[in-house]
Amino acid sequence: MSVSHIGLKAAVGLWLIIGLCGSAPADPVKVKTVVDNAGIKATPEIGAKSLIKLPLATVVTVLDKQGEWFKVSCDKDGKSYTGFIHEMLVEETAEPAEAESKPEAAAAASSDPAGEIEAQGEAAKALIRQEKSLVEAEDALGGLLAKSIGLADPKKQKALVIEIYLWLGISRVTRGDEAAGLKEFRRMFDVDTAAAREATRNIATPKIDALLKLAEQESLGLISDYGLEVISDPPDARVFFDGQDMGSTPGTFRWASPKFVLELKKAGFVPVREDVLLLAVSSKKSFRLEFLQRDLSLSSVPPGAAVFVDGRDTGRITNCRVEGLAFGRHEIRLARNYYLDWTSSVEITDAEQPLLQAELVGKSYAPAGSWGERGSGLFDNPIALAADREGFLYVLDESSGRVVKLTAEGRAAADWKVTAPEWAELKSPTALAVDAQGILYLADGRRHVILKVGRDGRSASVWKGEGGGTSEFRLPAAMAFDSAGHVYVIESGTCRIKKYSGRGDFIRTWGTEGKGDGQFLQPRAVAVNGRDEIFVLDRSRVQKFSADGAFLASWGEAGRGEGQFQNPRGLAVDAAGAVYVADSDNHRVQKFEAGGRLVAVWGAKGRDQGRFSEPVSIWVSGQGIVHVLEKGNERIQRFAVGPPLPER
């Protein structure tokens, strides 16, 4: 149908509404014939009796619209006529109605108009059969349709109109517009069901045959709408027909047209969009929805961990990228020999997924070398170990009264020693620590002071720890530093912790003597993790505090079982936050997670590699190498994650 016909329908509808509502009368809608000998029929159907024939460009008044037919009135030869004219024969006009048509407007009549229509129709049908110039063929057939409706012979008129509607429908289906094709087929059956059935009895194309059957049923009033059962896996997907929300799957949904756009939408799944043409009154469609997916990048320290997703081995090894994870929550597990499994729950969404980073925690340790041994002269009764940021190690040697500086390879730095005059005044240095600037802190329990020694070993200052209700320290036993440079000092004489600024200004103190949470019996070591949480080693347990001194957790008790301690002396934390305890009288090292869960235990009394004699101090490098200072064996043993030594 042309655009002018669509506009004409709207205008007629609006004019009729205004009239029914009783408003001021509007000018009646006029139409003008676009073919010569346009027939006004007694009834609105092809082949009906013609009341009169109108010449080209005759203007008539529209009274109503019934389907494809206009009910019109006009005057001719002094008589008034009311009847029906097909929409293909007229167009809207603003010209006034004329009592008589203009003779010069009429075109010369053909001697055989039906023959001309048939000949031109064959040319258009040839293009459609060859699937060439389909739009051109449809335009030609549209013009012939108007001429056919104007034929005087009702039988010829009906036969040609049916033939044209049929081929218009075939052409539109060939172009992929099945809905438009169905409309043309229905118009064909509306003309004459029996004649249309006869004209189409040799159609062998399955799709066109199915559309013809639907068109006939629609024409007979047997179909008012179409039903489509929609099933999805998983269910509960929202169903949309031409953008209208129809409900959720599974379900059967009805629609006026057999052709529409079907959409399925469900959170976490790829939306489905499909152009649907139903070839039956009731149909069924099933869909397996695909998960929306996004890749996930993973890295681990160290790399080389196998990646499991929801319990499935992906075959990937960190550092890596796992492709195609469905939207939703997934359980990620990284597994590597001699390390605890690392797990995380990850929500995959349409947002950009950040890199997932894992710090693997070693659960098994193997010897990686040692420095010194009894009688070697490197150490003589060593009691404390610390390291600076450059990787130099410092060992406090009790019997020789000196501090030994070692390179990262374990060689003594012969050109360095503490020569500051204040060093000679110390009576009993028992603890050692190094701050971020490389300043050495040496605790002297007998003098109740801390000596701060410069990096060159030649300068020093005495710090007495004034403030906090006491003029000086009382038995300072250990020191540690947080990320802001604050200093935490263990006072074994008062069973408390003191916190100072990097300049030595007192900030706060906590702790009293006792066995309760936040109390101490014999505090002897302190360490700070990357979150500035404070760990204090007491007589037979570890206590954990916030930077403000709030108690967080504790674990351990006296004994020789795993997780128990006998006279523990050394405490350290690594970059991942794991806690290491030198369990001196049990001659072993125990490793814990920051919350106290036991991770690893290794060592036994002895002098061989992997065995200990009074481990008293621990330091862990940034690479995770554990350095254990042994007082009894006068050495430092180094351990890396690896297969444990066989038990003897």
- CATH code of residue 231: 2.60.40.1120
In a domain, 142, yes or no: yes
Per-residue buried b or exposed e for 402-414, using 16+ beta carbons within 10 Å of the residue's own CB: bbbbbeeebebee
Identify the three-state secondary structure at position 332: strand
CA atoms within 13 A on the CB side of 273: 3
Identify the three-state secondary structure at position 126: helix
Task: Provide the 10 A C-beta neighbour count for residue 430.
Answer: 20
Q: What is the pLDDT of residues 3-39, one digit of tens each?
A: 344 444 444 454 444 444 444 455 788 888 887 778 8
pLDDT at position 625? 95
- For the ranges 40-44, 68-72, 335-339, 351-355, the maximum mean pLDDT occurs at 335-339
Q: Are residues 357 and 394 in the same domain?
A: no
Residue 590 in contact with residue 601, Cβ under 8 Å?
yes
Find the domain containing 29 and state its range: 8-38+50-85
In a domain, 43, yes or no: no
pLDDT at 373 over 80: yes
Question: Range with the lowest mean pLDDT among 44-53, 70-79, 597-606?
Answer: 44-53
pLDDT at position 24? 45
Q: Are residues 183 and 326 in the same domain?
A: no
Q: Are residues 170 and 249 in the same domain?
A: no
Respond yes or no on whether the N-terminal peptide bond of residue 37 is cis (omega within 30° of 0): no
Q: What is the pLDDT of residues 584-608, one digit of tens each?
A: 999 999 999 999 999 999 999 999 9
Strands 59-66 and 30-33 turn out to be: antiparallel
Task: Provide the 10 A C-beta neighbour count for residue 295.
Answer: 11
Give dist(CA 511, CA 491) in Å, integer: 10
Give dist(CA 463, CA 531) in Å, integer: 27
pLDDT at position 150? 77
Domain termination site, one of 288, 306, 323: 288
Residue 53 in contact with residue 75, Cβ under 8 Å?
no
pLDDT at 206 over 60: yes
pLDDT at position 609? 94
State mean pLDDT over 333-343: 96
Q: Are residues 339 and 278 in the same domain?
A: no
Residue 479 in contact with residue 490, Cβ under 8 Å?
yes
State mean pLDDT over 320-334: 93
- Our count of domains for the chain comes to 5
For residue 536, list its beta bridge partners.
526, 543
State mean pLDDT over 366-392: 93
Q: Are residues 395 and 535 in the same domain?
A: yes
Order of strands, sheet of 570-573, starting from the edge strand that comes earlier in the sequence: 570-573, 579-583, 588-592, 598-602
Order of strands, sheet of 542-545, starting from the edge strand that comes earlier in the sequence: 525-528, 534-537, 542-545, 551-555
Give dist(CA 477, CA 498) in Å, integer: 11
Q: Are residues 322 and 390 in the same domain?
A: no
pLDDT at position 102? 47
Q: What is the pLDDT of residues 414-425, one digit of tens each?
A: 889 999 999 888
pTM of full prediction above 0.85:
no
In a domain, 515, yes or no: yes
pLDDT at position 110? 58
pLDDT at position 26? 58
Give dist(CA 502, CA 363) in Å, integer: 35
Residue 233 in contact with residue 288, Cβ under 8 Å?
yes
Give dist(CA 113, CA 152) in Å, integer: 10
In a domain, 597, yes or no: yes
Tokens of 12: 């007629």
Q: Are residues 350 and 488 in the same domain?
A: no
Q: How far is CA 462 from CA 354, 403, 427, 448, 472, in A?
A: 49, 17, 13, 10, 11
Q: Are residues 573 and 612 in the same domain?
A: yes
Give dist(CA 13, CA 472) in Å, integer: 102
In a domain, 647, yes or no: no
Tokens of 535: 């760990």
pLDDT at 412 over 50: yes
Please provide the average confidence, as pLDDT, over all residues in the chain. 89
State mean pLDDT over 574-584: 95
Domain termination site, one of 220, 247, 280: 220
Q: What is the pLDDT of residues 510-566, one digit of tens each?
A: 999 999 999 999 999 999 999 999 999 999 999 999 999 999 999 999 999 999 999
pLDDT at 443 over 90: yes
For residue 591, list its beta bridge partners.
580, 600
Tokens of 89: 């024969």
Q: Are residues 411 and 555 in the same domain?
A: yes
Which residues lie below 8 Å from residue 475, measured CB to CB, with a gap of 6+? 445, 448, 491, 492, 493, 494
Q: What is the pLDDT of residues 158-202, one digit of tens each?
A: 899 999 999 999 999 999 888 899 999 999 998 889 999 999 988
What is the DSSP annotation of 47-81? TPPEEEEE-TT-EEEEEEEETTEEEEEEEETTEEE
Question: Range with the lowest mean pLDDT among 80-89, 234-243, 304-313?
Answer: 80-89
pLDDT at position 266? 93
Element (H, E) at 406: strand 402-406
Strands 476-481 and 487-491 turn out to be: antiparallel
Which residues lie below 8 Å from residue 165, measured CB to CB, with a gap of 6+? 145, 184, 185, 187, 188, 191, 196
pLDDT at 228 over 70: yes
Amino acid present at 418: V
- In angstroms and rounded to an integer, the radius of gyration of the C-alpha atoms of the chain is 49
In a domain, 99, yes or no: no
Question: Which residue shows structure tokens 């036993």?
Answer: 477
Q: Are residues 266 and 415 in the same domain?
A: no
pLDDT at position 68? 83
pLDDT at position 646? 81
Give dist(CA 538, CA 581) in Å, integer: 11
Q: Are residues 237 and 212 in the same domain?
A: no
Q: Which of 477, 516, 455 is nearest to 488 (CA)?
A: 477
pLDDT at 621 over 90: yes
Strands 365-371 and 328-335 turn out to be: unpaired
pLDDT at position 35? 76
Give dist(CA 264, CA 240) in Å, integer: 6
pLDDT at position 1? 42
Which residues lie below 8 Å from residue 594, measured CB to CB, with a gap of 6+? 529, 533, 544, 573, 577, 578, 579
In a domain, 206, yes or no: yes
State mean pLDDT over 316-338: 94
Q: Are residues 376 and 488 in the same domain?
A: yes
* Band of pLDDT at residue 114, cut at 50, 70 and 90: confident
- Residue 93 sits at φ, ψ, to 5 deg, of -150, 160
In a domain, 108, yes or no: no
Amino acid present at 270: V
Give dist(CA 509, CA 420) in Å, integer: 30
Question: Range with the lowest mean pLDDT among 45-59, 502-516, 584-598?
Answer: 45-59
pLDDT at 636 over 90: yes
Give dist(CA 431, CA 424) in Å, integer: 16
pLDDT at position 103? 46
Question: Which residue shows structure tokens 């090292």?
Answer: 589
* Band of pLDDT at residue 104, cut at 50, 70 and 90: very low
Which residues lie below 8 Å from residue 17, measured CB to CB, with a gap of 6+? none
Order of strands, sheet of 365-371, starting from the edge strand that comes earlier in the sequence: 365-371, 635-641, 626-630, 615-620
Give dist(CA 82, CA 554) in Å, integer: 103
Residue 417 Cα to chain centre, angstroms: 59
Domain termination site, one of 361, 392, 414: 361
